[in-house]
Copies of this chain bind each other. A is one copy, B any other.
Amino acid sequence: MQIVITAVGPDNRGLADPIVHYVTGHGANIAEIQMYDHDEACLFAMLLRIDMPADEYDALEEAMRAIGREKQLSVRVWSPERRAARPRLAICTTYRMEPPLALLRALRDGQIQAEAALMLGNRPQCRSLAEQFNVPWHMIGNDAGVADDERLVELCDEYEIDYVILARYMRVLPPASCWKYAGGRIVNLHHGLLPSFPGLRPYQDAYASRMLTYGATCHFIVPELDAGNQIIHQQTFTVPPGMPLADIVRLGQEDNEPRCLVEGVRRVVAREVQLHFHRIVARRR
């Protein structure tokens, strides 16, 4: 069974030792280890991907919980195989309703075999969607839209979330949150064609260079800021010269972005793709 262990702590000293010692002593094969030391942010993190017999999972989880308590680490154990038939999704939103709406419909209609277990917003705009589709809703933003990042992780833990879907969620997840759900569990919809058009205004940037192709990108979030190579799906459309920007944005937001998100989440849930040493790979089956 493929198992992902993540550990996050405030101190580099002894972060890796007890966890690594346990797994190598209990018959696991180490497939991948990544460690990071963001000393300026006092953030130390490790991702461990191992193969281990499935019947060791509960003992492992218990052991990791004990290590976390003892060493003051935030440790998580997860396997993509445990709820593979029907993984649980958290859908994070801000203003735009089209992408979460398309995703909720695809879940309802069985186009994506997963459960909408939780909806979040740092703004209240998408609350009605949660009510309409009967999904638990939590508001995590203050009056200025600043999100409570720790609350987001707590809720995902509490609702036993497998995949966190950022459906035009317009806040940057802090590195600690990315590490806690590392290993290909956070999926983002970016409303531009990566890597060419990152940033907050990809339609405007592409328009400014008189591009005729516009696109959206569905990708895994990995914990380093400058990472690339995690594109799950891209959806594009082409316009004739002279189309006004407002029309292009409308085409993108109302049609292209929702389609991109739905197909991207479908691929993740169906485990057609996975992260492997920070790169996306098609899963061999």
Query: Using a CB–CB distance below 8 Å, which chain A residues touch chain B?
Result: 12-14, 16-17, 20-21, 24-25, 29-37, 39, 46, 193, 195-196, 209-213, 215, 228-236, 238, 240-242, 267, 272-273, 276-277, 279-282
Partner of A234, one of B14, B238, B277: B238
7 A-B pairs with least C-beta separation: A242-B282, A196-B196, A21-B24, A16-B30, A213-B234, A37-B277, A212-B234
Q: B213 and A193: CB pair below 8 A? A: yes
Cβ-closest chain B residue relative to A237: B236
Task: Report the minimum CB–CB distance from A187 to chain B (whole Å).
Answer: 13
Q: B37 and A32: CB pair below 8 A? A: yes
Q: B241 and A281: CB pair below 8 A? A: yes
Please, could you name 22 A-B residue pairs with CB atoms under 8 Å apart, sorted by A?
Answer: A20-B33, A21-B24, A34-B34, A36-B277, A37-B277, A193-B213, A195-B196, A195-B209, A210-B230, A210-B279, A212-B231, A212-B233, A212-B234, A213-B213, A213-B234, A213-B236, A215-B236, A235-B238, A241-B272, A241-B282, A242-B281, A242-B282
